[in-house]
C-alpha cells in the first residue's frame, strides 16, 4: 500500500509527537536514556536531525520537567541540541527556570551561539537576552556568537522589531 511507503517528514513529525505524548512517569527514565543515547550521534550537518530537533522542541514544551533535566544534568551531551530544548522550554510552564539557566550561561560565556539561535521564534520580546549575548561575546571576542546574534537582530528587525536595530549596531560596534 502506498501510505506504508510514505516516509515524509510530515509523517515522521506526527509519530515524533505521539512519542512525546506517550511519555509518562512509568517510562520517563527509559525515554531520558533513549534521548541521551540518540544525542550521542555526531554530525557537522544539523540538517541530518530536523525531525529530532522538532521532537526535542515539542518534548521541551510538553514535558518540560524532562527537558529541564536534560539541560541541567546532561548539558554536555545535549550541547548540540540545546537550540530546540531552549526554544521549547521558553514556550513551556518552566520558561522562568530556563531564563535563569540562560542568564548563568551568558555570565559563564557558554552556549552563546545556541542562545542566540534559539531566539528565532517570537523573540522580539527577548531583545535584552540577545543584547546580553552580544555584550558577553564581545568581552570574550567570540565573533561567531556576535555574528549569529547580529543575524538574529537583522531578522527580527525585518519582522518589525524596531529595537532590534540597536542590538545589530551593538554587534557591529563589537
Q: Of 39-43, 91-95, 106-110, 150-154, give the lowest mean pLDDT range.
A: 39-43
| Mean pLDDT, range 98-125, rounded to an integer | 89
Q: How many CB atoms lie within 10 A of CB 92?
A: 20
- CA separation for the pair 115, 98 (Å, rounded): 11
Residue 4, pLDDT > 60, answer: no
| Mean pLDDT, range 132-153, rounded to an integer | 97
Q: Tell me the whole-structure pTM to 2 decimals.
A: 0.88
Of the pLDDT bands very low, low, confident and very high (cuts 50, 70, 90), residue 50 is confident
Instruction: Report DSSP letters for 116-133, one per residue.
Output: HHGGGSS-GGGHHHHHHH
Q: How many CB atoms lie within 10 A of CB 47?
A: 7
Amino acid at each position: 500500500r502506498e501510505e506504508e511507503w510514505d516516509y515524509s517528514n510530515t509523517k515522521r513529525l506526527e509519530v515524533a509527537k505521539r512519542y512525546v505524548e506517550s511519555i509518562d512517569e512509568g517510562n520517563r527514565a527509559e525515554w531520558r536514556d533513549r534521548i541521551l543515547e540518540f544525542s550521542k550521534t555526531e554530525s557537522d550537518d544539523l540538517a541530518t536531525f530536523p525531525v529530532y530537533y522538532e521532537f526535542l522542541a515539542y518534548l521541551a514544551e510538553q514535558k518540560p520537567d524532562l527537558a529541564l533535566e536534560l539541560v541541567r544534568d546532561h548539558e554536555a551531551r545535549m550541547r548540540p541540541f540545546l537550540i530546540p530544548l531552549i526554544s521549547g522550554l521558553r514556550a513551556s510552564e518552566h520558561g522562568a527556570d530556563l531564563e535563569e539557566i540562560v542568564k548563568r550561561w551568558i555570565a559563564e560565556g557558554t552556549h552563546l551561539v545556541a542562545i542566540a539561535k534559539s531566539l528565532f521564534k517570537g523573540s522580539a520580546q527577548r531583545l535584552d537576552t540577545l543584547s546580553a549575548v552580544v555584550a558577553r561575546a564581545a568581552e570574550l571576542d567570540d565573533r561567531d556568537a556576535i555574528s549569529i546574534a547580529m543575524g538574529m537582530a537583522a531578522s527580527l528587525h525585518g519582522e518589525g522589531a524596531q529595537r532590534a536595530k540597536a542590538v545589530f549596531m551593538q554587534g557591529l560596534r563589537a
